[in-house]
Amino acid sequence: MSSDNVEDILNDSLSFFGGRPVIERDIITYGPLQLTVAPKVRVPTGTPPTVPSKVFQEGKANTLLADHLFSPSLFLAERIERALIPIHGRTVVELGSGCGLPSILMATMPEPPKIAVLTDYPDEGIMGNLNENVARNASLFSSACTVYCLGYDWGTDVSHLL
């Protein structure tokens, strides 16, 4: 373990929470869906790929665990696919969406919710990734479902989510 990778100290404990490390920007597939997790560091737009990521400021994704796909998302996705969660025609708000798997999957179902609202901490890296995941999979969405991505800091006013 090097001092450059301090998050490696507890990296193996992620399995306790049902998570698994994901190499940054790898595509995660779930059926036809293609998702990524938020990056650990903020890399300014236009930065050459030769610049090492350790020179950039740590992003909130690292401290808020938005840089992982956790098993509860997979569990919900499986239940959604099997139609065990009633979603048809409803409004669904997902708090702390991470990469957005459950809500994005809902939007692709034959009987989708009327509205799916994906939320996460209003950080550029986290919300940028969530918006990219929605855009990447939008061609699979049912026309009967409207999808929104909104930043939300827990404990603040929820009126803009509803």
Residue 93 structure tokens: 């708000």
Is residue 1 in a domain? no
Residue type, 157: D
pTM as predicted: 0.75
Pairwise CA distance, residues 12 & 14, whole Å: 5
Counting the structural domains of the chain, the total is 1
- Residue 30 makes CB contacts below 8 A (sequence gap 6+) with 74, 77, 101, 105
Handedness of CA 76, 120, 29, 132 (dihedral sign): positive
The pLDDT tens digits for 27-80 are 899 999 999 888 766 555 565 655 555 544 556 655 666 667 888 999 999 999
Residue 131's CATH number: 3.40.50
The pLDDT tens digits for 91-150 are 999 999 999 999 999 999 999 999 999 999 998 888 999 999 999 999 999 999 999 999
In which domain, by residue range, is 77 found? 6-161
Pairwise CA distance, residues 76 & 59, whole Å: 27
Region of residue 155 (left: phi > 0; alpha: psi -120 to 50; beta: else): left
Is residue 31 in a domain? yes
